[in-house]
Amino acid sequence: MNCKYCNKSCLKKGFQGGKQKYQCKTCKRYQQKIYTYKMCTEQDEKTIVKLNNIGVSISGIASFTGISKANVVNKIKSIAEKSTMPKIEEEQKEYEADELYTFIKNKNNSCYIMYAINKMTKQVIDFFVGTRTKENVEKVISKVKLLNPKRIFTDKLNLYPGLIGTKIHTASAYKINHIERFNLTLRTHLKRLSRKTICFSRSREMLESCLKLYLYKGNLAMRK
């Protein structure tokens, strides 16, 4: 057979899973004459996004679509890489900011999802995954401040007053009910964020990718 990459002749080079393998004499790449795994189509990509956004695990998505788990993971990452936050043009609005606790790999490796939403529309302004430090919280708050906010509501975390300023900042557990409810929505819809579960993120990249699919490509019930 001819190479699928450079169209040069190939030599037989053993078996894999009972199927003949070939190696190109020129580019040295291995390949098979016929592949039996299912390729991911455009419709499959839409299905992967939809299943991710309703809390289906990677194994569940692979089982439903017939695509391998490794391919599902790679596809989620590639879709997320192409996804961008919708452009937001607004001024003098009210916002809520909060941090959602989770962990990566094990419970000793804790991290936070820091994000902000528009108090009225529930539109997510920006998010960041990492440790709850002043530098990381500022990455979210700075995006909100670019919108010339009327007021920003937060909990009583001591990092916020210095980052926001007293003129537009209100720290109160009773003024962030919308984002607290959104925290519950995230935990309900994304399986890896559920409490008391065996499902968890094994890498920060994968957690960020699933969040991008949910926040950028999902039809959020909170956005009304």
Q: Which residues contact 73 (CB under 8 A, 6 or more apart)?
A: 58, 206
CATH code for position 203? 3.30.420.10
How many domains are contained in the chain? 3
Segment 124-136 shows an average pLDDT of: 95
**Residues 200, 101 share a domain:** yes
**Residues 102, 47 share a domain:** no
Q: Is residue 125 part of a domain?
A: yes
**pTM of the full predicted structure?**
0.78
**Residues 47, 28 share a domain:** no
**Residues 212, 113 share a domain:** yes
The answer to whether the CB of 154 falls within 8 A of the CB of 98 is yes
Q: Is residue 224 part of a domain?
A: no
The answer to whether the CB of 51 falls within 8 A of the CB of 217 is no
Q: Is residue 155 part of a domain?
A: yes
**Residues 162, 137 share a domain:** yes
**Residues 137, 175 share a domain:** yes
Q: Which helix (H) or strand (E) holds 136?
A: helix 134-145
Q: Is residue 88 part of a domain?
A: no
- Cα(27)–Cα(86) distance, integer angstroms: 42
Q: What is the pLDDT of residue 173?
A: 87
What is the phi-psi region of residue 181: left when phi exceeds 0, alpha when psi lies from -120 to 50, beta otherwise? Answer: alpha
Structure tokens at 212: 């991008």
**Could you read off the pLDDT of 27-85 as tens digits, one per residue?**
999 888 876 667 788 899 999 999 999 989 899 999 999 888 999 999 999 999 998 88
**Residues 152, 205 share a domain:** yes
Q: Is residue 87 part of a domain?
A: no
Q: Is residue 157 part of a domain?
A: yes
**Residues 122, 76 share a domain:** no
- Cα(153)–Cα(119) distance, integer angstroms: 9
**Residues 150, 130 share a domain:** yes
Q: CA triplet 101, 177, 113: central angle to 5 degrees?
A: 20
Q: What's the chain's average pLDDT?
A: 90
**Residues 154, 116 share a domain:** yes
**Residues 168, 118 share a domain:** yes
**Could you read off the pLDDT of 73-121 as tens digits, one per residue?**
999 999 999 988 888 899 999 999 999 999 998 888 999 999 999 999 9
Q: Is residue 14 part of a domain?
A: yes
Q: Is residue 19 part of a domain?
A: yes
Task: Reply yes or no on whether the pLDDT at 17 is more than 80.
Answer: no
Structural domain that includes position 13:
1-36
- Binning the chain into helix, strand and coil, the percentages to the nearest 5 are 35, 25, 40
**Residues 67, 7 share a domain:** no
End of a domain among 82, 109, 141?
82
